[in-house]
Structure 1
């Protein structure tokens, strides 16, 4: 089976599927509730894993670039909100970590990045404009981090 990170059913210009997921504090976050604000939706496999921790740490350290571009950073994994809270506290992320825990991977699947064999989200990012359309999308295979330069390129497209 191909790696979930290498296939995407959604393309630039498509309407981003709406969702509502709890963040690490159990607060519901919905895409429709953020209408008018650009969103970087960052899918990653698992909290506390090496590559994911490195990627999210880099985003944390460069969060001001997203903020100054008017982009809300949301990271999504299939972990529970309890795991995500411990992860966020340990790493000091400072942005929302969303739990696509139950139904397991439903939002990841809606975005075409759920790997049903491994039970995890692929490593994919969608930059969603304030009107809810996908402005950019990119991914890397499992085991390969997304470069910060690619995020910067996506932010420049807004």
Structure 2
């Protein structure tokens, strides 16, 4: 298995084009012109992912007020993302990356420790991208309880 990608602040964000809940698509090209916040999470409607999604929902105005567009990306099928958006009232875009190609490009897919076992899957990660497509914040292995406070501090919100 090749070494996982590790992006850093100042790198160009990898291009992507993914289907979204609601039947649309989202791409890096479409996000250009304003800052964006991408957060990669393992699975819709699971406890930690729901907590993280709801924290972002409850603080969504803080991000949009600073011009950010928020996009969550998981390996879930679109039907599951539609259900997640509806059940949790999520105001931002959720995209499905069932092939893991975008997650791999961002270094958000690979080996991780889960309950004492090494498994391959989504590495909970967050990236801020400026209006020109350059990474301004990179965090792998995001801790869910401190996610919002970390973003407030690092993005100056």
Instruction: Please give the range of the TM-score, normalised by the shorter of the 2 chains.
Output: 0.7 to 0.9
Is the 1:46–1:120 contact (alpha carbons within 8 Å) kept by the matching residues of 2? no
* Partner SS for 1:97: strand
Task: String of CA shifts for 1:30-88, please: whole Å, max 9, x gaps.
Answer: 11112111100000011011001001100000000001110000000000111000011
Unmatched segments (≥5 aa) in structure 2: 112-117
Match in the other structure for 2:155: 155
Query: How far apart are the structure 2 equivalents of 1:118 and 1:34?
Result: 32
Query: How far apart are the structure 1 equivalents of 2:152 and 2:38?
Result: 14
* Partner SS for 2:23: coil
Query: How far apart are the structure 2 equivalents of 1:22 and 1:146?
Result: 28
Matches within 5 A, 1:1-158: 9-101=6-98, 104-115=99-110, 118-140=119-141, 144-145=143-144, 147=146, 148-156=148-156
What is the deviation of 1:26?
Answer: 2.1
RMSD value, Cα: 1.8
Query: How far apart are the structure 1 equivalents of 2:132 and 2:156?
Result: 17
* Partner SS for 2:39: strand
* Partner SS for 2:91: coil
Q: Matched residue pairs, number? A: 147
Task: String of CA shifts for 1:112-156, please: whole Å, max 9, x gaps.
Answer: 110267453211000000010000111326xx4152111112321
* Partner SS for 1:58: helix
* Partner SS for 2:132: coil
